[in-house]
C-alpha cells in the first residue's frame, strides 16, 4: 500500500499554515479597501441625489429622510451623517474642518464615521482620520486622512 508518511503530512500542513499566515494580512487589507471604496461610492450617489433635490427645490434637504435615504447604512452598519450648512440654522460647531480648522464644505457635510464608529469635527483628530468624507463641495470623496 502506498500512502503518505507522518513527516510528509506534517510538512504539507506546515506549508498550508505558512501560506495562510502570509495571505491573511493581504486579504484583510483588501477587504478594508473594498469597504472604504463602497462607502465613497455611496457618498457619491447620495451627493448626486442631494444635488438633484436642490435643483428641483432650490435648496438642500434638511435631512437624508427628505430624499428617501434615511435607512442607508455604510459598510460598517452605521447610518451616513448629513449636515446642511447653508441655511440650516446654527451648525458652525458641527461642520467638518481641515487641518487649518477651515470648513471642508460650504453647502453640506456628508460622511461616514468609518470603521471605528468615532468622529469629531476636525479631520486631523485621531478619531476622524478613518472617516470617509465628502470635501471641497463634492470635489473629493475618500478617507479623511487623505484630504
Percent of the chain with pLDDT over 90: 54
What residues does each domain of the chain span? 38-146
Which residues, at least 6 apart from 51, have a Cβ–Cβ distance to it below 8 Å?
A: 138
Instruction: Output DSSP code: residue 82.
Output: E
Order of all β-strands in the sheet with 108-112: 81-84, 108-112, 132-135, 140-143
Report the candidate in 83, 80, 76, 89 with the shortest Cα–Cα distance to residue 104. 83
Are 111 and 43 spatial neighbours (Cβ–Cβ below 8 Å)? yes
> Does residue 3 have a pLDDT over 80?
no
- Cα angle 81-140-95, degrees, rounded to a multiple of 5: 40
Classify 103 as helix, strand or coil.
Answer: strand
Residues 104-129 pLDDT 10s:
998 899 999 999 988 888 888 899 89
The whole-number pLDDT of residue 93 equals 63
> Distance (Å, rounded) from C-alpha 63 to C-alpha 65?
5
CATH topology of domain 38-146: Glycoprotein, Type 4 Pilin (3.30.700)
Report the candidate in 96, 122, 102 with the shortest Cα–Cα distance to residue 43. 96
Residues 7-66 pLDDT 10s:
989 999 999 999 999 988 888 888 899 999 999 999 999 999 999 999 999 989 989 999
Cα of first residue to Cα of last residue in the chain, in angstroms, is 66
The whole-number pLDDT of residue 42 equals 95
The whole-number pLDDT of residue 66 equals 92
HSE (side-chain half, CA atoms, 13 Å) at 125: 13
Residues 60-88 pLDDT 10s:
998 999 999 888 999 999 999 999 987 65
**pLDDT tier for residue 4 given thresholds of 50, 70 and 90:** confident
Percentage helix, strand, coil, to 5, in the chain?
Answer: 40, 15, 45
The whole-number pLDDT of residue 106 equals 87
Amino acid at each position: 500500500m502506498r500512502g503518505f508518511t507522518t513527516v510528509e503530512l506534517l510538512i504539507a500542513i506546515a506549508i498550508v499554515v505558512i501560506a495562510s499566515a502570509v495571505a491573511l494580512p493581504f486579504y484583510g487589507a483588501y477587504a478594508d479597501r473594498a469597504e472604504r471604496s463602497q462607502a465613497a461610492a455611496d457618498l457619491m450617489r447620495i451627493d448626486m441625489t442631494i444635488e438633484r433635490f436642490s435643483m428641483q427645490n432650490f435648496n438642500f434637504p434638511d435631512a437624508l429622510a427628505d430624499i428617501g435615504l434615511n435607512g442607508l447604512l455604510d459598510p460598517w452598519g452605521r447610518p451616513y451623517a448629513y449636515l446642511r450648512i447653508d441655511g440650516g440654522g446654527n451648525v458652525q460647531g458641527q461642520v467638518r474642518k481641515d487641518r487649518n480648522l477651515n470648513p471642508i464644505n460650504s453647502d453640506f457635510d456628508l460622511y461616514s464615521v468609518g470603521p471605528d464608529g468615532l468622529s469629531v469635527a476636525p479631520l486631523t483628530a485621531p478619531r476622524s482620520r478613518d472617516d470617509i468624507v465628502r470635501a471641497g463641495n463634492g470635489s473629493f470623496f475618500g478617507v479623511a486622512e487623505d484630504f
